[in-house]
Amino acid sequence: MANTVIGSSIVIDGEISGDEDLVIQGTVKGKISLKESLYVEGSGVVEADIETQNVEIAGRVTGNIAASDKVELKSECRVVGDIKAPRILIADGASFKGNVDMDEKAR
């Protein structure tokens, strides 16, 4: 429970930054930058540019994602935006529209 959790009824309009894991069950608009992992749960809605180490998405994300390690799109997610990361996983059933860039040089 040390993680930060944004509950399902919470709406944040602005910027979130931090050095720890973040779980989003609610709505975040704006910008997210973390040094750890971001989890967007099934009920989570993110309309933001994301900069983290890892991202796991089971909810809805609209925005560009840049991860220094890995981006994982789970089977029920809906993602619109560009993804840039050395490792990108897209599960069967995931919905995704955008560019993918796995170029490690970009790091």
What's the min distance (Å) between Cβ of 77 and other proteins? Answer: 9
**Which residues in 52-71 contact other proteins (CB under 8 A)?**
56, 58
Q: Which stretch binds other proteins (CB under 8 A): 25-33, 63-71, 81-89, 94-102?
A: 25-33
7 near other proteins (CB under 8 A): yes
Q: How many CA atoms lie within 13 A of 41 on its CB side?
A: 14
22 touches other proteins (CB under 8 A): yes
Q: Which is nearer to other proteins, 20 or 103 (CB)?
A: 20
- How far is Cα 50 from Cα 82, in angstroms, rounded to an integer? 10
Q: Taking contact as CB under 8 A, which single stretch among the options 20-28, 62-70, 81-89, 95-103 is the one that binds other proteins?
A: 20-28
* Beta carbons within 8 Å of 102's beta carbon, 6+ residues apart: 85, 86, 87, 88
The rounded distance, in Å, linking the Cα atoms of 106 and 86 is: 9
Can you give the binding site for other proteins, defined by CB under 8 A? 1-23, 25-26, 30, 39-43, 56, 58, 74-76
